Amino acid sequence: MGLTDEARLVGLARRGIASAFDELFRRHSRRVHDLAYHMLSDRDAADDVVQEVFLRVHRRLDGFRGQCSLRGWILRITVNECLSQRRRARRRQQQLPETVVGAAPPERRIEYAEAARRALQALRPVDRALVILRDVEGHTYEEIAEVLRCSSNSVGVRLHRARKRLRGELGRLLPEEEGR
């Protein structure tokens, strides 16, 4: 995807060309959904986040100055929306689902993946976003820095701490892991 092309799409979407905005949705919605799903562990909530994020993108597109990448901007909105969703969910005292829907990898990997998913919930939301962006979604430090508005050095330091904390949580959830 060329940057020039994307800038043109943004320009057309700003001028009200619906098909241009739809194309932006097609390009970025999958990432938004993945990030939201891993942040919230809830498929329906992730679907709602996608809707809210793109409504917000549509509303704020005029204000997007192109100082960061469009993807970074959209993912930042996604992280913020996920944090808001969690706050709302907590107020409603909803419980996160205990089961995960997905393909079935080998037995041990399921157990580990499930434990990691639960361990993620123990992190602070921003740290959770950081780990998901890096270890689940595979973004670079620089991309994460853009999304979370910090330096890439800071990403490294925070990632180290968050992983350490995750390791501790994993050890609690998988006792044999602690001994390894």
Partner 1 sequence: MKRLVCRRVQRALSRMVDGRLTGDQAEGVRAHLAVCEQCEREHAGLLRLRAALADQPRVEMRADALERLQTRLAARGRPSAAPQIALAAFGLVALVGLAAGLPRLVRPARERETTMLAAAPGRPDAVTAEHRQSEAIVPGAVEGARVVGTRRAEKPAANRGQSSLRPARAGRKGTVPRRVGGEAPSPKTGAGSTIIIVVTPQEASCEAGVALRMASIEGADGRPEAMVTMIETRGRDGSVQYVDYEYHPVEPEGTATGSASEPGEEGMRDGDDTQDDPQTGTGGPGAEFAAGLVECGAEAV
* Residues in touch with partner 1 (CB under 8 A): 1-5, 8-9, 12, 16-23, 25-26, 29-30, 33-34, 37-38, 43, 46-47, 50-51, 54-55, 58, 100-103, 105, 109, 112-113, 115-117, 120, 131-132, 134-136, 138, 141, 156, 159-160, 163, 166-167, 170, 177, 180
- Closest approach of partner 1 to the CB of residue 83, in Å: 19
Q: Measured from the CB of residue 128, what is the shortest distance to partner 1 in angstroms?
A: 11
DSSP 52: H
Q: How many CB atoms lie within 10 A of CB 86?
A: 18
> Shortest distance, CB of residue 174 to partner 1, whole angstroms?
10
Give φ, ψ of 125 to 5 degrees: -50, -40
Measure the CA dihedral 75/76/82/84, to 10°. -150
The nearer residue to partner 1, 26 or 91, going by C-beta atoms, is 26
Q: Report in angstroms the alpha-carbon separations of 25 from 44, 64, 143.
A: 18, 16, 19
Using an 8 Å Cβ cutoff, are 130 and 148 in contact?
yes
Q: Which is nearer to partner 1, 89 or 93 (CB)?
A: 89
| Minimum separation from the CB atom of position 46 to partner 1 (A) | 7
Helical spans, DSSP H, in the chain: 3-14, 18-40, 43-60, 70-91, 107-120, 125-131, 141-148, 152-173, 175-178
Q: Which is nearer to partner 1, 34 or 68 (CB)?
A: 34
- In this complex, which beta carbon is closest to partner 1, that of residue 9 or of residue 82? 9
Q: Which residue lies nearer to partner 1 by CB, 76 or 114?
A: 114
